[in-house]
Structures are given as C-alpha cells and as structure tokens.
C-alpha cells in the first residue's frame, strides 16, 4: 500500500478540519479556560528519548516533558500528558484532545499551514545513520539500500524526495521501531537525528553504526491550533523568559549533554505569531 507523504497528509488534514468546522470551534480557548479547567493538556511523543518518553515511574519524561512542566508551573496548573507518535500528533491537537503539542514538532512551512507555532524552544540535527562499513555519504548513495524512516516525519519527507528511485524506503509507525529495524538488520540505514545514538547505544552497546551524512537542522516549536492569539502570545513570552533566565539551556544541557545552539529569530514560511 502506498503512503501519503507528510506534505499531502497535512494539507488533507487542514481541509478536513476546516470542512468539519473544528478549527473555528477550537479558537475560543483562552488562558482563563485552561486555568479554570485546572490542567494543561499536552501532547508529547511517548517513544523518543531523550525528547519525550515514559520514565520508569510511568510518567512523561525528557526534554519536552521538562519544558511542558515549566509551562504548567507558569500557568499555575499541573500538566496532563497524552503520549502520541509523529504521525498521530497533529490530529491529537486539531481535534481538541490537547491544548498544545510539545512533541519535537519540526517547524516547516507545510506544517505552519495547519498549526500555529510558537518561537522555537529546541533544535536537533537530521541525519542518515548506518554501519560504518557502508559507502554512503550523500542522498545519491542511498541507491539500492533499504532505508527506514518514521512515517510522516521530516526524515520521511526529505529522504522520499531526495533518494534515488532504486532506494527502498520502509516506513515505520514511530522512531523506536525504525531504530529497532536498523539494529536487527531489517533495514540498512535509517533517517534519524543527532540524539538517536542515546537509544542505539542502550540497545547495542558495542555497535558499528555512525552518522553517514547530515541532512538539515530542525527547530521545534510549541504547536497550537490556528487563531489562538492569546495562547500564542503567552507561550512566546514563556519561551523568551526561560531562554533569558537560563532554564531552557539548563534543560538542554541536562538532556542533550551540551549547550543549546542559537535559535533563529525567524524561519521562512513559518510565522511565530498569529497573523
């Protein structure tokens, strides 16, 4: 069965939601609505350490969870997490099941047509990972290899667009499954990010995998439903605050092991404020 690429999926979702009237209905939510409810509902990836995962205590953990808990603290309410996957997270937000996504959502123009992004709060590098012995240094070198990607992710979109037609692209429901496919030999390479090795090292301590080549740098923003001006302004002020006071860098250093790279003041095609 053929799968729609990320661009097609998000456009289809936007059309479906607009037709159903769900986007307009969700715009009325305010900061007071969240405070009166007494909980901030956050969608988070459930299977991507160190960004978002379930800890040993059964609670949401990782970089995204730490940022979400700071946002809840600023609002004065606890956070209720909903675990999700890359492919399912946008629908979770747009159908009103969560207030925001803090789920490693990459800031790209096609996504910005569906959700409203805040200023970026994190970043990671997108790469291709495989065994050191494979002679792979560019997209062209993916010819005739089996390449695993997490469905509807930026890796899926970039590799689908850039790899030769002779490459076999295998799509998996989440990042953990694509990593397992690489480790087990089900695929030769995977599209990943610069933190994947935290998971690969745990699964196979004495492995022979490496980053084969760099694709792009991804910036992540808090995703909200379109038109939520007050919530967008509040979250942007929150991001500015935790950047300025060092809390965001402290989380990045604790989780990723290095200082936060500089975050951009603008991204072409991705507005940080409600237009």
Mean pLDDT value across residues 136-165: 95
Architecture of domain 6-123+219-256: 3-Layer(aba) Sandwich (3.40)
Model confidence pLDDT, tens digit, residues 19-72: 344 444 444 478 999 999 999 999 999 988 999 999 989 999 999 999 999 999
Where helices occur in 95-174 by DSSP H, the ranges are 109-112, 154-162
Q: Would you tell me which CATH number, out of the four given (3.30.413.10, 3.20.20.60, 3.30.465.10, 3.40.190.10), belongs to the domain 125-216?
A: 3.40.190.10
Domain definitions of the chain by residue range: 6-123+219-256, 125-216
Question: Between the CA atoms of 264, 65, 6 and 92, what dihedral angle is there, to the nearest 10 degrees?
Answer: -130
Inform me whether the pLDDT recorded for 140 exceeds 90: yes
What is the band of 87 on the pLDDT scale with cuts at 50, 70, 90? confident
pLDDT of residue 23: 43
pLDDT of residue 48: 87
pLDDT of residue 216: 92
* Residue of 266, 205, 199 lying closest to 45 (CA atoms): 199
Model confidence pLDDT, tens digit, residues 165-184: 999 999 998 888 999 999 99
Q: Which residue has the higher pLDDT, 199 or 43?
A: 43
Provide the 8-state DSSP code for 264: P
pLDDT of residue 146: 98
pLDDT of residue 24: 42
Where helices occur in 43-195 by DSSP H, the ranges are 63-75, 89-94, 109-112, 154-162, 175-184
Average pLDDT, the chain: 89
Sheet holding 47-48, edge to edge: 47-48, 52-54, 60-61
254-261, Cβ contacts within 8 angstroms, sequence gap of 24 or more = 254/66, 255/50, 255/51, 255/62, 255/63, 255/66, 256/50, 256/63, 256/195, 260/122, 260/123, 261/123, 261/217
Q: What is the pTM of this model?
A: 0.81
């Amino acid at each position: 069965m053929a799968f729609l690429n990320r661009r097609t999926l998000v456009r289809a979702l936007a059309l479906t939601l607009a037709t159903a009237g769900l986007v307009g209905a969700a715009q009325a939510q305010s900061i007071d609505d969240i405070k009166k409810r007494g909980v901030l509902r956050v969608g988070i990836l459930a299977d991507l350490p160190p960004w978002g995962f379930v800890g040993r205590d059964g609670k949401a953990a990782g970089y995204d969870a730490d940022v979400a808990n700071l946002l809840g603290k600023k609002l004065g309410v606890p956070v209720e997490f909903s675990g999700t996957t890359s492919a399912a997270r946008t629908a979770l937000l747009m159908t009103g099941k969560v207030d925001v996504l803090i789920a490693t959502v990459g800031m790209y123009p096609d996504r910005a047509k569906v959700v409203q992004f805040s200023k970026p709060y994190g970043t990671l590098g997108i790469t291709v990972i495989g065994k050191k012995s494979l002679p792979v240094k560019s997209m062209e070198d993916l010819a005739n290899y089996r390449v695993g990607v997490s469905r509807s992710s930026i890796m899926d979109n970039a590799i689908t667009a850039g790899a030769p037609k002779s490459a076999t692209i295998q799509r998996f429901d989440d990042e953990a499954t694509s990593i397992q496919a690489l480790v087990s030999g089900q695929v030769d390479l995977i599209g990943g990010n610069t933190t994947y090795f935290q998971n690969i090292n745990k699964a196979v301590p004495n492995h022979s995998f490496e980053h084969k080549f760099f694709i792009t740098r991804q910036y992540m923003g808090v995703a909200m439903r379109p038109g939520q001006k007050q919530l967008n302004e509040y979250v942007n002020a929150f991001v500015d605050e935790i950047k300025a006071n060092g809390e965001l860098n402290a989380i990045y250093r604790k989780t990723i092991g290095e200082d936060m790279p500089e975050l951009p003041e603008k991204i072409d095609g991705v507005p940080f404020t409600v237009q």
